[in-house]
Amino acid sequence: MKPRSLALSLLGFTLAAAALRAEEGMWTFDNLPTKAIQAKYGWAPDQAWLDHLRLSCLRFPGASGSFVSRDGLVLTNHHVGRGWIQRVSSKEHDYVKNGFSAPSREAEIKVPGLELVTLMAMDDITERLAKAVKAGLPEKEALKARETEIEKIKKEMQEKSGLICEHVSLYQGGEHWIYTYKKHTDVRLVFAPELQVALFGGDFDNFTYPRHSLDMTLFRVYENGKPYQPKDFLKWTETGLKAGDLTFVTGHPGRTNRQDTLAQMVYARDWALPMGLKDMEARRQALIDFGKASPEAARQVETQILGIENGLKARNGYLAGLKNREALDHIKAHEEALRAKVAKTPALQTEAGQSWTRIEQAMKAARGLIKEQTYVGTAYSTLLGHALSLVRITDQEDLPSDQRLPEFSDANLKAAKARQGVPGPFYKEQEIFMFTRGLAQAARELGPQHRFVKAMLGGKSPAEVAKAAVEGSKLSDPAVRKALLAGGKKAVADSADPMILLARKLEPLTRELRKKQDEQVTSVVAEHGARIAKARFAVYGKNTYPDATFTMRLTYGPVAEYKANGTLMQPFTTFGGLFDRHDGWGGNAAKAHDGAWALPQRWIDRRGALDPTVPLNFAHKVDIIGGNSGSPVVDRKGEVVGLIFDGNIEMLPGNYYYDEAANRGVSLDARAILHALDKVYGATALVAELTGK
């Protein structure tokens, strides 16, 4: 995938004298390019429009969503909700495969463990934090001072607001913020289509366009046992979109690395991404092998396999982007230009002149740690994960708050304890199989004499250890975990549960690795990434956006075609195109490629009721990345016109750089949602609720 117009895109990113070219940018709500939007489209959002949009949006675990009715109805993707749908499914009721539609609100299914949050406020703490971290501190001490002050600020703000406060680092540490969230803990499943139409085309069509998928799910938030009534929610469009119409996407893009140094990108290309891909492939194969045991085994692992396959395709796209020599040459040229400007300014040279070298040294240290970090403790075991959490929680809670690891602050500790009490699906045979595979892989990769392998296996085979530990453990029961937490450090230390015994052997090894990572890599990158960011501000100004950090962002752009495969990709696909693709693969009878283009029987039965001209999916020129899944797409009126569910294959290198000619978001059209609910599922009450009619 060779990016087109790359030089223009990268120059647009780096030059602050002019606005960014095209629709590049995952913008924070405090620094939107409203002048650029106004200049190009003759209209720009005002503060009231932005506040309403922000308060209507939600963050899912790893993804996004939005309120779409006055009674707390929430819209997101099927693939965002799939793991939670699996959690409330069973052998008798496979809601992932067969779909679910609550016949009444009383029949909506509570989803244990699912928590959503709404962003209520954003506070810049950069100056206060700078005063707390004295100039000239060694990198390790500066990191500790910064973390201590952040926890102090979070605690103050949480006590004042009664809400959840999270630290947000932007511009590689050039800015620090506290984002305050309202949490919603009673979330219920309302509607989900069948997997076969939500993921139409399977992994073949994933990250491609044209697409034909009904990738949506509806949940509802409750409060005090009644449907929650948000002050702000998004109204449904009455007009829909046409080619060229301006769209806005608000969501929580997970992570981009566009402001990383060249050394960090080379490390990702040569070490981090290949190592991660290798581990994901092994995990995927283990799940596939287990699923061959029976139809029930296949049901248990289906959503896990789909999630890994999605991640594999994305990361292979990131890697392809970093292997593009032209792209890396432009990134190198930009870095050299900034370093030259820094060198000409004595104050900047003193502050940041050596920062690129220090980060390069940190990446060399990271290469020496990555193999152990990949295989030590990643043994594919849910129960071992519970055991490690119990050991860490009870160890940390005995420490003064200023001596704890950041993830075990008072608020985080409370949340970690709460998670241990949440029930979840547990399949003993799957656990034994996966734990065996994980231990065997670690032994193979690290060698039989590695301390982790010796500590975990003790001279026994992976199968022996896994079987004994899983069958002897009671940690699958949340009541047992809660009792151990209630007993504190002594109860966990005295426990004879085999998983806790393994965790107590493992924890010192992971702690030592964490210490090396913090000292040799994390503290260096945090300190010198921030110095480079400040130098960039000094040279170019704050006329750009920060890398994605799984915090709320706004991106915008028109519905647009693009060039690919020697032709033009159309802006919209339709219901007619869905059936054409289905027919072209021989329909359900052909079972081509394991039925990737098959359709649920009810869709076959209701084909005549559907209007083949109704738009189904569309492509638009918006800058997105993983985490944006489930983001609402709105028009100038702030009304829902679509739902982001994917990007095209050409956008994957956007983790590292933006290509304006080919980057496209792929969304489900709002008209398609209503048409399917009405004509296929007969969900007239939901249609009425969404439209307000």
The predicted-structure confidence for 467-490, as pLDDT tens digits, reads as follows 999 999 999 999 999 999 999 999
Closest CA to 1 of 688, 670, 663: 663
pLDDT of 19 higher than 70? no
Q: How many domains does the chain have?
A: 3
**Residue 291 domain-assigned?**
no
Task: Write down which residue in 514, 545, 576 finishes a domain.
Answer: 545
Residues 508 and 385 in one domain: yes
Residues 111 and 217 in one domain: yes
Instruction: Share the mean pLDDT of the chain.
Output: 93
Residues 477 and 597 in one domain: no
**Residue 162 domain-assigned?**
yes
Residues 229 and 180 in one domain: no
**Residue 590 domain-assigned?**
yes
605 Cβ neighbours under 8 A, 6+ residues apart: none
Residues 496 and 528 in one domain: yes
3-class SS letters over 415-444: HHHHHHCCCCCCCHHHHHHHHHHHHHHHHH
Fill in the amino acid letter for 561: E
Residues 488 and 598 in one domain: no
Q: 461 falls in which pLDDT band (50, 70, 90)? A: very high
Residue range 160-197, pLDDT digits in tens: 999 999 999 999 999 999 999 999 999 999 999 999 99
The Cα 612–Cα 626 span in angstroms is 31
Task: Write down which residue in 154, 184, 214 finishes a domain.
Answer: 184
Residues 539 and 569 in one domain: no
Domain boundaries, position 171: 117-184
**Residue 372 domain-assigned?**
yes
**Residue 344 domain-assigned?**
no
The Cα 311–Cα 383 span in angstroms is 23
As given in the structure block, the two tokens for residue 580 are 């054409």
In this prediction, residue 378 carries a pLDDT of 65
Residues 381 and 432 in one domain: yes
Residue range 529-568, pLDDT digits in tens: 999 999 999 998 888 899 999 999 999 999 999 999 899 9
Q: 5 falls in which pLDDT band (50, 70, 90)? A: very low
**Residue 94 domain-assigned?**
yes
Closest CA to 68 of 683, 670, 677: 670
Residues 649 and 593 in one domain: yes
pLDDT of 497 higher than 50? yes
Residues 474 and 554 in one domain: no
Q: 677 falls in which pLDDT band (50, 70, 90)? A: very high
Averaged pLDDT for residues 604-614: 98
**Residue 294 domain-assigned?**
no
Contacts 24+ apart (CB under 8 A), 490-493: 491/394, 492/390, 492/391, 492/394, 493/394
Residues 393 and 429 in one domain: yes
In this prediction, residue 228 carries a pLDDT of 98
pLDDT of 18 higher than 60? no
Residues 129 and 201 in one domain: no
**Residue 312 domain-assigned?**
no
In this prediction, residue 220 carries a pLDDT of 98
Task: Write down which residue in 521, 545, 569 finishes a domain.
Answer: 545
